[in-house]
Structure 1
Amino acid sequence: MYNPAEVSSDLRAFVAEEIRLHPRVAYQGLLTEEGAATRVAAALPALQRFRHDYAGAISVVDWDHRLPSQNLVLRIYGYYGEDTLDAGYEAFDDRLDQIAERDKYPEFDVPDFDGLAADEAYEIELSPTGQIGRCRLTSTWRRTVASRDAAAAVALVQACDEYQKLVTASPSRPAYLGDLEAVSWTPPCETDHERWTLDVWYLLAFDGRIGSGRSFLADLETQQIVSVRDFSVRKG
Protein backbone atom coordinates (compact mmCIF):
# COMPACT_ATOMS: atom_id res chain seq x y z
CA MET A 1 0.00 0.00 0.00
CA TYR A 2 2.85 2.38 0.83
CA ASN A 3 5.84 2.61 -1.47
CA PRO A 4 9.25 3.28 0.03
CA ALA A 5 10.42 6.75 -0.91
CA GLU A 6 13.32 9.02 -0.15
CA VAL A 7 10.86 11.80 0.71
CA SER A 8 7.27 11.35 1.81
CA SER A 9 4.37 13.47 3.01
CA ASP A 10 3.06 10.62 5.20
CA LEU A 11 5.05 8.77 7.85
CA ARG A 12 3.29 5.48 7.12
CA ALA A 13 5.58 5.01 4.11
CA PHE A 14 8.57 4.77 6.44
CA VAL A 15 6.77 2.59 8.98
CA ALA A 16 6.04 0.09 6.21
CA GLU A 17 9.74 -0.07 5.36
CA GLU A 18 10.98 -0.90 8.85
CA ILE A 19 9.82 -1.21 12.43
CA ARG A 20 12.51 -1.58 15.07
CA LEU A 21 11.84 -3.49 18.27
CA HIS A 22 12.87 -2.73 21.82
CA PRO A 23 15.13 -5.62 22.94
CA ARG A 24 12.56 -6.68 25.54
CA VAL A 25 9.86 -6.76 22.84
CA ALA A 26 12.08 -8.80 20.53
CA TYR A 27 12.90 -11.13 23.43
CA GLN A 28 9.20 -11.99 23.70
CA GLY A 29 8.95 -12.68 19.97
CA LEU A 30 6.33 -9.97 19.44
CA LEU A 31 5.82 -8.55 15.93
CA THR A 32 8.85 -10.40 14.63
CA GLU A 33 7.07 -12.14 11.76
CA GLU A 34 7.72 -11.24 8.14
CA GLY A 35 5.43 -8.47 6.94
CA ALA A 36 4.72 -7.10 10.43
CA ALA A 37 5.84 -3.58 9.49
CA THR A 38 3.61 -3.49 6.42
CA ARG A 39 0.65 -4.81 8.40
CA VAL A 40 1.04 -2.24 11.17
CA ALA A 41 1.53 0.62 8.68
CA ALA A 42 -1.65 -0.33 6.83
CA ALA A 43 -3.64 -0.13 10.07
CA LEU A 44 -2.37 3.31 11.06
CA PRO A 45 -4.36 6.51 10.61
CA ALA A 46 -2.96 9.17 8.31
CA LEU A 47 0.29 10.62 9.64
CA GLN A 48 0.56 13.57 7.31
CA ARG A 49 3.32 16.14 7.39
CA PHE A 50 2.84 19.47 9.11
CA ARG A 51 4.55 21.89 6.73
CA HIS A 52 7.57 19.93 5.53
CA ASP A 53 7.96 16.58 3.78
CA TYR A 54 9.75 13.85 5.68
CA ALA A 55 13.29 12.81 4.76
CA GLY A 56 13.01 9.76 6.97
CA ALA A 57 11.69 8.29 10.19
CA ILE A 58 12.53 5.94 13.02
CA SER A 59 9.70 3.62 14.05
CA VAL A 60 10.15 1.53 17.17
CA VAL A 61 7.83 -0.77 19.09
CA ASP A 62 8.58 0.16 22.68
CA TRP A 63 8.39 -1.86 25.84
CA ASP A 64 5.71 -1.30 28.51
CA HIS A 65 8.10 -2.33 31.33
CA ARG A 66 6.20 -5.57 31.91
CA LEU A 67 6.98 -9.21 31.26
CA PRO A 68 4.93 -10.44 29.57
CA SER A 69 4.00 -7.16 27.87
CA GLN A 70 0.37 -6.09 27.87
CA ASN A 71 0.29 -2.65 26.24
CA LEU A 72 3.05 -1.73 23.82
CA VAL A 73 3.74 1.69 22.32
CA LEU A 74 4.66 2.41 18.72
CA ARG A 75 6.87 5.49 18.67
CA ILE A 76 7.32 7.19 15.31
CA TYR A 77 9.95 9.88 15.01
CA GLY A 78 9.78 11.90 11.80
CA TYR A 79 12.61 14.01 10.37
CA TYR A 80 12.48 16.81 7.81
CA GLY A 81 16.14 16.75 6.79
CA GLU A 82 19.19 14.53 6.62
CA ASP A 83 20.90 16.36 9.49
CA THR A 84 18.09 15.78 11.97
CA LEU A 85 17.62 12.22 10.68
CA ASP A 86 21.28 11.43 11.32
CA ALA A 87 20.97 12.93 14.80
CA GLY A 88 17.93 10.74 15.39
CA TYR A 89 19.82 7.59 14.40
CA GLU A 90 22.65 8.57 16.74
CA ALA A 91 20.23 9.17 19.62
CA PHE A 92 18.58 5.81 18.96
CA ASP A 93 21.93 4.01 19.01
CA ASP A 94 22.92 5.77 22.24
CA ARG A 95 19.66 4.70 23.88
CA LEU A 96 20.15 1.15 22.64
CA ASP A 97 23.58 1.12 24.30
CA GLN A 98 22.03 2.34 27.56
CA ILE A 99 19.50 -0.48 27.41
CA ALA A 100 22.21 -3.07 26.74
CA GLU A 101 24.21 -1.88 29.75
CA ARG A 102 21.31 -2.61 32.09
CA ASP A 103 19.71 -5.57 30.34
CA LYS A 104 21.42 -8.26 32.43
CA TYR A 105 18.46 -10.13 33.89
CA PRO A 106 14.73 -10.14 32.99
CA GLU A 107 13.79 -8.80 36.42
CA PHE A 108 15.96 -5.69 35.90
CA ASP A 109 14.12 -2.68 34.47
CA VAL A 110 15.69 -1.02 31.44
CA PRO A 111 15.13 2.31 29.63
CA ASP A 112 12.71 2.71 26.76
CA PHE A 113 12.83 4.88 23.62
CA ASP A 114 10.68 7.74 24.82
CA GLY A 115 11.91 11.28 24.20
CA LEU A 116 14.23 10.88 21.23
CA ALA A 117 14.83 14.16 19.41
CA ALA A 118 12.74 14.52 16.24
CA ASP A 119 11.00 17.09 14.08
CA GLU A 120 7.69 15.31 14.69
CA ALA A 121 7.05 12.60 17.28
CA TYR A 122 4.02 10.35 17.64
CA GLU A 123 2.99 7.86 20.29
CA ILE A 124 0.53 5.15 19.29
CA GLU A 125 -1.06 2.51 21.49
CA LEU A 126 -0.27 -0.97 20.21
CA SER A 127 -1.39 -4.37 21.45
CA PRO A 128 1.07 -7.30 21.52
CA THR A 129 -0.71 -8.67 18.46
CA GLY A 130 -0.36 -5.42 16.52
CA GLN A 131 -3.78 -3.83 17.00
CA ILE A 132 -3.67 -0.04 16.76
CA GLY A 133 -5.16 2.16 19.49
CA ARG A 134 -5.06 5.87 20.30
CA CYS A 135 -2.57 8.02 18.41
CA ARG A 136 -1.20 11.36 19.60
CA LEU A 137 1.43 13.89 18.64
CA THR A 138 3.96 14.29 21.47
CA SER A 139 6.13 17.06 19.99
CA THR A 140 6.21 19.98 22.40
CA TRP A 141 6.29 22.50 19.52
CA ARG A 142 2.61 21.78 18.88
CA ARG A 143 1.83 24.45 21.48
CA THR A 144 4.00 27.04 19.76
CA VAL A 145 1.59 28.90 17.50
CA ALA A 146 2.72 31.85 15.38
CA SER A 147 0.77 35.04 16.07
CA ARG A 148 -0.43 35.21 12.46
CA ASP A 149 -1.86 31.68 12.59
CA ALA A 150 -3.38 32.28 16.02
CA ALA A 151 -5.09 35.48 14.85
CA ALA A 152 -6.52 33.74 11.77
CA ALA A 153 -7.90 30.86 13.84
CA VAL A 154 -9.43 33.16 16.46
CA ALA A 155 -11.09 35.23 13.72
CA LEU A 156 -12.67 32.08 12.27
CA VAL A 157 -14.07 31.14 15.67
CA GLN A 158 -15.41 34.63 16.33
CA ALA A 159 -17.35 34.49 13.07
CA CYS A 160 -18.95 31.08 13.64
CA ASP A 161 -22.50 30.64 14.90
CA GLU A 162 -21.54 28.20 17.67
CA TYR A 163 -19.24 30.73 19.31
CA GLN A 164 -21.71 33.59 19.04
CA LYS A 165 -24.43 31.45 20.62
CA LEU A 166 -22.03 30.44 23.39
CA VAL A 167 -21.19 34.06 24.21
CA THR A 168 -24.88 34.98 24.27
CA ALA A 169 -25.62 32.06 26.59
CA SER A 170 -22.81 33.01 29.01
CA PRO A 171 -23.51 36.64 29.99
CA SER A 172 -22.03 36.22 33.48
CA ARG A 173 -18.75 34.67 32.33
CA PRO A 174 -15.94 36.26 34.41
CA ALA A 175 -13.58 38.53 32.48
CA TYR A 176 -10.54 36.96 34.17
CA LEU A 177 -11.09 33.81 32.12
CA GLY A 178 -9.68 35.69 29.15
CA ASP A 179 -10.49 35.64 25.46
CA LEU A 180 -10.27 32.97 22.81
CA GLU A 181 -6.82 31.37 22.69
CA ALA A 182 -5.21 29.24 19.97
CA VAL A 183 -3.50 26.63 22.12
CA SER A 184 -2.27 23.79 19.93
CA TRP A 185 -1.72 22.38 16.48
CA THR A 186 -3.68 19.16 16.06
CA PRO A 187 -2.74 16.45 13.52
CA PRO A 188 -5.26 14.46 11.46
CA CYS A 189 -4.64 11.29 13.47
CA GLU A 190 -6.16 12.95 16.55
CA THR A 191 -9.23 14.42 14.87
CA ASP A 192 -10.07 12.24 11.84
CA HIS A 193 -10.03 15.46 9.81
CA GLU A 194 -8.04 15.33 6.58
CA ARG A 195 -5.81 18.30 7.43
CA TRP A 196 -3.99 19.79 10.40
CA THR A 197 -6.12 22.11 12.50
CA LEU A 198 -5.58 24.70 15.20
CA ASP A 199 -7.31 24.07 18.51
CA VAL A 200 -8.84 27.28 19.89
CA TRP A 201 -10.09 27.29 23.49
CA TYR A 202 -12.78 29.39 25.13
CA LEU A 203 -12.59 28.92 28.89
CA LEU A 204 -15.94 28.91 30.69
CA ALA A 205 -14.94 27.99 34.23
CA PHE A 206 -11.81 27.66 36.38
CA ASP A 207 -11.72 26.80 40.09
CA GLY A 208 -7.99 27.20 40.57
CA ARG A 209 -7.25 23.58 39.71
CA ILE A 210 -9.50 22.49 36.84
CA GLY A 211 -10.63 24.54 33.87
CA SER A 212 -13.39 23.68 31.43
CA GLY A 213 -14.77 25.21 28.29
CA ARG A 214 -15.35 24.80 24.57
CA SER A 215 -12.78 23.78 21.96
CA PHE A 216 -13.01 24.88 18.32
CA LEU A 217 -10.88 23.18 15.66
CA ALA A 218 -10.01 25.64 12.90
CA ASP A 219 -8.91 24.53 9.44
CA LEU A 220 -6.87 27.47 8.19
CA GLU A 221 -6.69 26.12 4.64
CA THR A 222 -10.44 25.96 4.07
CA GLN A 223 -11.23 28.77 6.54
CA GLN A 224 -13.73 26.60 8.40
CA ILE A 225 -14.46 25.42 11.93
CA VAL A 226 -14.55 21.65 11.55
CA SER A 227 -15.36 20.59 15.11
CA VAL A 228 -16.72 22.00 18.36
CA ARG A 229 -16.33 20.02 21.58
CA ASP A 230 -16.11 20.40 25.34
CA PHE A 231 -12.76 20.23 27.11
CA SER A 232 -11.41 20.14 30.64
CA VAL A 233 -7.84 20.71 31.75
CA ARG A 234 -6.04 20.40 35.08
CA LYS A 235 -3.55 23.08 36.13
CA GLY A 236 0.04 21.89 36.04
Structure 2
Amino acid sequence: MSLFGRNKNKGKPPPGEPPAKLVERAFNDLRVHVRLQEQDIAVSEDFHAQLHASMPELVPYGSNQYAAVRAVLDWDHQIPNEYMLLRIYTAYSRHEARLLDTQIRARDQAITSDNVYPEFDLPDYGDLDASETYIAVLRPGSADFEEFRFFSDWRKEVRPPVARAALSAVKQLESYQEAYRTRQNDALGSAVVVGWVPPCLAKSTAWAVEIWLVVEFDGQIGKAKVFMVDSESLVVTREYLTEVHVP
Protein backbone atom coordinates (compact mmCIF):
# COMPACT_ATOMS: atom_id res chain seq x y z
CA MET A 1 0.00 0.00 0.00
CA SER A 2 1.34 3.40 -0.94
CA LEU A 3 1.89 5.75 1.97
CA PHE A 4 1.83 8.87 -0.18
CA GLY A 5 -1.13 11.18 -0.43
CA ARG A 6 -0.42 13.30 -3.48
CA ASN A 7 0.37 11.34 -6.64
CA LYS A 8 -0.27 13.50 -9.67
CA ASN A 9 1.22 11.06 -12.18
CA LYS A 10 -0.14 7.82 -10.75
CA GLY A 11 -0.56 5.24 -13.49
CA LYS A 12 0.93 7.53 -16.13
CA PRO A 13 4.29 7.38 -17.88
CA PRO A 14 6.93 9.79 -16.61
CA PRO A 15 6.47 13.20 -18.27
CA GLY A 16 10.17 13.94 -18.62
CA GLU A 17 13.75 12.88 -18.13
CA PRO A 18 15.29 11.34 -14.99
CA PRO A 19 15.66 13.75 -12.05
CA ALA A 20 19.46 13.81 -12.23
CA LYS A 21 19.35 14.84 -15.89
CA LEU A 22 16.82 17.59 -15.21
CA VAL A 23 18.90 18.91 -12.32
CA GLU A 24 22.00 18.90 -14.52
CA ARG A 25 20.14 20.85 -17.19
CA ALA A 26 18.89 23.32 -14.58
CA PHE A 27 22.45 24.13 -13.54
CA ASN A 28 23.56 24.42 -17.15
CA ASP A 29 20.83 27.06 -17.49
CA LEU A 30 21.34 28.56 -14.03
CA ARG A 31 19.82 32.02 -13.64
CA VAL A 32 22.00 34.43 -11.66
CA HIS A 33 20.35 37.52 -10.21
CA VAL A 34 21.55 40.72 -11.82
CA ARG A 35 22.77 42.13 -8.48
CA LEU A 36 25.13 39.15 -8.16
CA GLN A 37 26.26 39.56 -11.75
CA GLU A 38 27.06 43.22 -11.12
CA GLN A 39 29.29 42.19 -8.22
CA ASP A 40 30.93 39.55 -10.43
CA ILE A 41 29.70 36.84 -8.07
CA ALA A 42 28.98 33.29 -9.23
CA VAL A 43 29.09 34.06 -12.93
CA SER A 44 31.58 31.42 -14.10
CA GLU A 45 30.59 28.06 -15.55
CA ASP A 46 33.13 26.38 -13.25
CA PHE A 47 31.32 27.77 -10.21
CA HIS A 48 27.98 26.62 -11.58
CA ALA A 49 29.46 23.13 -11.91
CA GLN A 50 30.61 23.29 -8.28
CA LEU A 51 27.10 24.24 -7.20
CA HIS A 52 25.71 21.32 -9.16
CA ALA A 53 28.18 18.98 -7.45
CA SER A 54 27.00 20.24 -4.04
CA MET A 55 23.37 19.38 -4.78
CA PRO A 56 21.97 16.32 -3.00
CA GLU A 57 19.97 13.84 -5.03
CA LEU A 58 16.37 14.92 -5.53
CA VAL A 59 13.60 12.32 -5.43
CA PRO A 60 10.07 13.36 -6.41
CA TYR A 61 7.31 12.87 -3.88
CA GLY A 62 5.29 9.66 -4.09
CA SER A 63 4.75 8.26 -7.57
CA ASN A 64 5.32 11.67 -9.14
CA GLN A 65 7.99 12.41 -11.71
CA TYR A 66 9.61 15.74 -12.42
CA ALA A 67 8.60 17.38 -15.67
CA ALA A 68 10.95 20.31 -15.05
CA VAL A 69 13.59 21.57 -12.64
CA ARG A 70 14.68 25.22 -12.54
CA ALA A 71 17.62 26.72 -10.64
CA VAL A 72 18.15 30.36 -9.66
CA LEU A 73 21.02 31.91 -7.73
CA ASP A 74 19.49 34.80 -5.83
CA TRP A 75 20.74 37.76 -3.85
CA ASP A 76 20.08 38.69 -0.20
CA HIS A 77 19.17 42.35 -0.82
CA GLN A 78 22.53 43.54 0.50
CA ILE A 79 25.45 45.17 -1.30
CA PRO A 80 27.92 43.60 -0.95
CA ASN A 81 26.07 40.33 -0.55
CA GLU A 82 26.57 38.50 2.72
CA TYR A 83 24.72 35.42 1.49
CA MET A 84 23.43 33.90 -1.72
CA LEU A 85 20.29 31.81 -2.03
CA LEU A 86 20.18 28.91 -4.43
CA ARG A 87 16.53 28.27 -5.25
CA ILE A 88 15.51 24.99 -6.86
CA TYR A 89 11.97 24.83 -8.22
CA THR A 90 10.41 21.63 -9.55
CA ALA A 91 7.21 20.88 -11.47
CA TYR A 92 5.42 17.53 -11.62
CA SER A 93 3.57 18.11 -14.89
CA ARG A 94 4.13 19.95 -18.15
CA HIS A 95 1.27 22.27 -17.25
CA GLU A 96 2.93 23.15 -13.93
CA ALA A 97 6.25 23.57 -15.75
CA ARG A 98 4.68 26.15 -18.06
CA LEU A 99 3.18 28.00 -15.09
CA LEU A 100 6.54 27.98 -13.32
CA ASP A 101 8.35 29.34 -16.37
CA THR A 102 5.70 32.04 -16.73
CA GLN A 103 6.31 33.12 -13.14
CA ILE A 104 10.06 33.23 -13.69
CA ARG A 105 9.70 35.33 -16.83
CA ALA A 106 7.37 37.71 -14.99
CA ARG A 107 9.93 38.08 -12.20
CA ASP A 108 12.65 38.68 -14.81
CA GLN A 109 10.56 41.51 -16.24
CA ALA A 110 9.90 43.03 -12.81
CA ILE A 111 13.61 42.98 -12.00
CA THR A 112 14.55 44.51 -15.35
CA SER A 113 11.89 47.21 -14.99
CA ASP A 114 13.06 48.21 -11.50
CA ASN A 115 16.78 48.07 -12.26
CA VAL A 116 17.33 51.79 -12.78
CA TYR A 117 20.33 52.35 -10.50
CA PRO A 118 22.73 49.71 -9.14
CA GLU A 119 22.15 50.79 -5.53
CA PHE A 120 18.36 50.35 -5.75
CA ASP A 121 16.66 47.37 -4.15
CA LEU A 122 15.25 44.84 -6.59
CA PRO A 123 12.79 41.94 -6.38
CA ASP A 124 14.24 38.48 -5.93
CA TYR A 125 13.07 35.10 -7.25
CA GLY A 126 11.40 33.96 -4.03
CA ASP A 127 7.84 32.80 -3.42
CA LEU A 128 7.21 31.20 -6.80
CA ASP A 129 4.61 28.44 -6.94
CA ALA A 130 6.15 25.01 -7.58
CA SER A 131 5.57 21.35 -6.83
CA GLU A 132 8.67 21.24 -4.62
CA THR A 133 10.96 24.09 -3.60
CA TYR A 134 14.47 23.75 -2.18
CA ILE A 135 16.56 26.63 -0.87
CA ALA A 136 20.27 26.49 -0.11
CA VAL A 137 22.11 29.26 1.74
CA LEU A 138 25.69 29.96 0.67
CA ARG A 139 28.42 32.53 1.17
CA PRO A 140 29.56 34.45 -1.91
CA GLY A 141 32.37 32.58 -3.64
CA SER A 142 31.63 29.31 -1.85
CA ALA A 143 29.72 26.34 -3.24
CA ASP A 144 29.23 24.82 0.22
CA PHE A 145 25.65 24.82 1.48
CA GLU A 146 25.32 26.29 4.98
CA GLU A 147 21.62 25.36 5.01
CA PHE A 148 19.40 23.33 2.70
CA ARG A 149 15.64 23.37 3.20
CA PHE A 150 12.51 22.02 1.57
CA PHE A 151 9.17 23.80 1.12
CA SER A 152 5.83 22.91 -0.45
CA ASP A 153 2.19 23.84 -0.09
CA TRP A 154 1.29 20.18 0.57
CA ARG A 155 4.04 19.30 3.04
CA LYS A 156 1.65 19.08 6.00
CA GLU A 157 -0.76 16.75 4.18
CA VAL A 158 0.18 13.51 5.93
CA ARG A 159 -2.65 10.99 5.95
CA PRO A 160 -3.75 9.82 9.42
CA PRO A 161 -2.63 6.16 8.96
CA VAL A 162 0.84 7.33 7.92
CA ALA A 163 1.03 9.79 10.80
CA ARG A 164 -0.03 7.15 13.33
CA ALA A 165 2.51 4.64 12.05
CA ALA A 166 5.33 7.21 12.19
CA LEU A 167 4.35 8.36 15.69
CA SER A 168 4.23 4.77 16.89
CA ALA A 169 7.73 4.12 15.53
CA VAL A 170 9.10 7.22 17.28
CA LYS A 171 7.45 6.52 20.62
CA GLN A 172 9.17 3.14 20.81
CA LEU A 173 12.61 4.78 20.81
CA GLU A 174 14.53 5.04 24.06
CA SER A 175 15.70 8.51 23.02
CA TYR A 176 12.08 9.65 22.64
CA GLN A 177 11.06 8.16 25.97
CA GLU A 178 14.03 9.80 27.70
CA ALA A 179 13.25 13.18 26.12
CA TYR A 180 9.59 12.83 27.14
CA ARG A 181 10.50 11.98 30.75
CA THR A 182 13.04 14.76 31.21
CA ARG A 183 11.34 17.63 29.38
CA GLN A 184 10.41 20.86 31.09
CA ASN A 185 6.80 19.98 31.97
CA ASP A 186 3.85 17.87 30.84
CA ALA A 187 1.93 20.90 29.60
CA LEU A 188 4.11 20.91 26.49
CA GLY A 189 1.95 18.17 24.99
CA SER A 190 2.80 15.04 23.06
CA ALA A 191 4.73 14.54 19.84
CA VAL A 192 3.25 16.15 16.72
CA VAL A 193 3.60 15.42 13.02
CA VAL A 194 5.12 18.39 11.19
CA GLY A 195 5.01 17.05 7.63
CA TRP A 196 6.84 15.36 4.80
CA VAL A 197 10.62 15.51 4.37
CA PRO A 198 12.51 14.50 1.21
CA PRO A 199 15.06 11.67 1.40
CA CYS A 200 17.99 14.03 0.89
CA LEU A 201 17.19 15.82 4.16
CA ALA A 202 15.95 12.84 6.15
CA LYS A 203 18.81 10.57 5.01
CA SER A 204 16.13 8.01 4.23
CA THR A 205 15.34 5.75 1.31
CA ALA A 206 11.73 6.87 0.91
CA TRP A 207 10.15 10.20 1.77
CA ALA A 208 10.07 10.63 5.53
CA VAL A 209 7.67 12.04 8.11
CA GLU A 210 9.02 14.72 10.44
CA ILE A 211 7.90 14.60 14.07
CA TRP A 212 8.58 17.12 16.84
CA LEU A 213 8.48 16.75 20.60
CA VAL A 214 8.74 20.12 22.36
CA VAL A 215 10.99 19.70 25.40
CA GLU A 216 11.44 23.32 26.53
CA PHE A 217 9.38 26.46 26.00
CA ASP A 218 9.15 29.79 27.83
CA GLY A 219 6.34 31.30 25.80
CA GLN A 220 8.55 32.61 23.00
CA ILE A 221 11.65 30.45 22.68
CA GLY A 222 12.18 26.77 23.28
CA LYS A 223 13.63 23.51 22.01
CA ALA A 224 12.16 20.50 20.27
CA LYS A 225 13.47 17.01 19.64
CA VAL A 226 13.08 16.23 15.95
CA PHE A 227 12.63 12.73 14.54
CA MET A 228 12.49 11.76 10.86
CA VAL A 229 10.81 8.46 10.01
CA ASP A 230 11.16 6.67 6.67
CA SER A 231 7.53 6.31 5.54
CA GLU A 232 8.03 2.83 4.07
CA SER A 233 10.42 1.08 6.46
CA LEU A 234 9.32 3.13 9.52
CA VAL A 235 12.98 3.41 10.50
CA VAL A 236 13.94 6.62 12.31
CA THR A 237 16.75 7.96 10.15
CA ARG A 238 17.55 11.26 11.91
CA GLU A 239 17.25 12.75 15.39
CA TYR A 240 18.36 16.18 16.57
CA LEU A 241 17.42 19.17 18.72
CA THR A 242 16.14 22.36 17.13
CA GLU A 243 15.14 25.75 18.44
CA VAL A 244 11.49 26.79 18.56
CA HIS A 245 10.52 30.44 18.13
CA VAL A 246 7.14 32.15 18.31
CA PRO A 247 7.02 35.52 16.50
TM-score normalised to structure 2 length: 0.82
1:132 aligns with 2:148: no
Correspondence list, 1:143-182, <5 A: 143-167=156-180, 169-170=181-182, 173-174=185-186, 176-182=187-193
Query: Partner residue of 1:217?
Result: 228
Q: How far has the Cα of 1:23 moved from its partner? A: 1.8
What's the counterpart of residue 38 of structure 2? 27
Gap runs ≥5 in structure 1: none
Greater mean deviation of Cα atoms: 220-229 or 102-111 = 220-229
Instruction: Note the C-alpha offset of 1:44.
Output: 1.6
2:84 is the counterpart of 1:72: yes
* Counterpart-to-counterpart distance in 2, 1:13 and 1:195: 22
8 Å Cα contact 2:191/2:211 also seen in 1 = yes
CA distance in 1, matches of 2:208, 2:131: 18
Residue of structure 2 equivalent to 1:99: 111
Q: Is the 8 A contact 2:42 2:140 kept in 1?
A: yes
Q: Aligned to 1:9, which of 8, 19, 27?
A: 19
- Give the Cα separation in 2 of the matches to 1:21 and 1:28: 11
Residues 148 and 17 of structure 1: is their aligned pair in 2 closer, same or farther, counting only changes over 3 Å? farther
Shift of 1:20: 1.0
* From 107, 110, 120, the counterpart of 2:132: 120
Letter in 1 for 2:105: D
Aligned-pair distance for 1:69?
2.8
Equivalent position SS for 2:35: helix
Residue among 31, 36, 49 paired with 1:38: 49
Q: How much does 1:159 deviate?
A: 2.3
**Structure-2 change in CA distance of 1:104 and 1:172 (3 Å):** closer
Whether the 8 Å CA contact 1:212–1:232 is kept in 2: the answer is yes
| Larger deviation, residues 36-45 vs 72-81 | 36-45
Corresponding residue for residue 194 of structure 2:
183
**Distance in 2 separating the partners of 1:166 and 1:69:** 40
Counterpart secondary structure, 2:19? coil
User: Which has the larger displacement, 74-83 or 222-231?
Assistant: 222-231
Q: Deviations over 1:149-202 (max 9, x none)?
A: 2111111112223223444x349842x422221112222443444543211122
The RMSD of aligned alpha carbons is 2.5
Contact 1:44 1:132 in 2 (8 A): no
Residue 95 and residue 225 in structure 1: after superposition, are their counterparts in 2 closer, same or farther (change >3 A)?
same
Distance 2:40 2:237 in 1: 42
How far apart, in 2, do the equivalents of 1:39 and 1:232 lie?
Answer: 31
Q: Deviations over 1:188-225 (max 9, x none)?
A: 44344454321112223333223433222111222211
Larger CA deviation: 189-198 vs 12-21: 189-198
8 Å CA contact 2:23–2:70 kept in 1: the answer is no
Sequence identity (%): 29
Shift of residue 140, structure 1, vs aligned partner: 4.1
State which of 105, 109, 122 in structure 2 corresponds to 1:110. Answer: 122
5+ residue gaps, structure 2, are: 1-14
Instruction: Tell me the distance in 1 between the aligned counterparts of 2:19 and 2:170.
Output: 28
Q: Indicate the residue corresponding to 1:229 in structure 2.
A: 240
Q: How high is the TM-score relative to the length of structure 1?
A: 0.85
SS of the residue aligned with 1:199?
strand
Q: Deviations over 1:87-130 (max 9, x none)?
A: 01111111111111110111111111011111111111233324
